[in-house]
Amino acid sequence: MTDKFRLDGAVALVTGGRRGLGHAFARALASAGARVAISSRSSEECSVAVEAMRADGLEISSVTGDVTSYADVEAMVKDVERLYGPVDVLVNNAGIVEHLPSLDVSPESWRSVLSVNLDGLWYCCQVVGRSMTARNHGVIINIGSISGMIVNRPQWQPAYNASKAAVHQLTRSLAAEWAGHNVRVNALALGYVHTEMSPDPTDPEEIQRWVTDVPMQRMATPGEVAPAVVFLASEASSFMTGSVIVLDGGYTLW
């Protein structure tokens, strides 16, 4: 049974993989036997992350590219193919968030969030999807958010919420369209995860909303949500496509 969770020989690409959630996803996939490439706009920071994981005996490399540039995405995928071969598992993790009330969101701010969280994810899906559908093989995992299902409080983040709702629906659309090509597309809707990028909730209202309001009374760690990516990437989830799995400590139960 445990063999179903193995990814031996599979080629995986994790965008935004140099730290935080992406780093944890890459480490988990490599630990399951995958050959992993992480991407970032910064080759130097990617190299640091790669060396740390290689020191643990994991097969991992880095590629450089900006997911908001279609040409960069095409070049990035070709780099992965030169390193390891065609991508079998794509994890669309790159994303940004800005906390601003609706009336304070500038056109530039709106475009910035949507260009990374939605356009970049779409570019990666389409470029990798061409190869996957041609080979009748592949798995795409999109990192969504509970922000695509509810409205977060006390912070306002309309652009981020809209982008993640779109990610969930795009996941379903691609899953339906590519199922006949044996390409599975699923998403993870994550709740609050404590990473180096997440704010330290010292404001009483933020503590109430981000921690106390969670039935499990805490934030997640990257390491405890990463195994869900392995599950979705592996044969253990072979009959699952178009699903949006919620990992939020029960936050959306209220």
pLDDT by residue for the chain (254 residues), tens only, comes to 779 999 999 999 999 988 899 999 999 999 999 999 999 887 777 888 898 899 999 999 999 999 999 999 999 999 999 999 999 999 999 999 999 999 999 999 999 999 999 999 999 999 999 999 999 999 999 999 999 999 998 889 999 999 999 999 999 999 999 999 999 999 999 999 988 766 566 677 777 788 888 999 999 999 999 999 999 999 999 999 999 999 999 999 98
CA dist 98 and 232 (Å) reads 28
pLDDT value at position 18? 83
Q: What is the pLDDT of residue 236?
A: 98
Distances 31 to 35, 56, 136, 170, 225 between C-alpha atoms, Å:
9, 9, 25, 29, 14
Asked, for residue 254, whether it belongs to a domain, the answer is no
Total domains, the chain:
1
CATH number for the domain that contains residue 183: 3.40.50.720
Q: Are 137 and 183 in contact (CB under 8 A)?
A: yes
User: What are the residues facing 143 on neighbouring strands?
Assistant: 188
Phi and psi at 119, nearest 5°, equal: -60, -45
Of the residues 123, 160, 192, 251, only one is catalytic, namely 160
14 domain residue, yes or no: yes
**49: CB partners within 8 A, 6+ apart:** 17, 18, 19, 23, 26, 38, 62
Taking alpha carbons only, the member of 195, 206, 202, 212 closest to residue 249 is 212
The per-residue pLDDT for 49 is: 84
pTM: 0.96
In a domain, 253, yes or no: no
Residue 252 lies in a domain: no
pLDDT at 63: 96
Residue 250 belongs to a domain: no
Any domain includes 251: no
Provide the pLDDT for residue 52. 86
Answer yes or no: 160 catalytic. yes
Is 95 part of a structural domain of the chain? yes
Range of the domain at 38: 2-245
Asked if residue 23 belongs to a domain, the reply is yes
**Sign of torsion over alpha carbons 207, 213, 217, 222:** negative
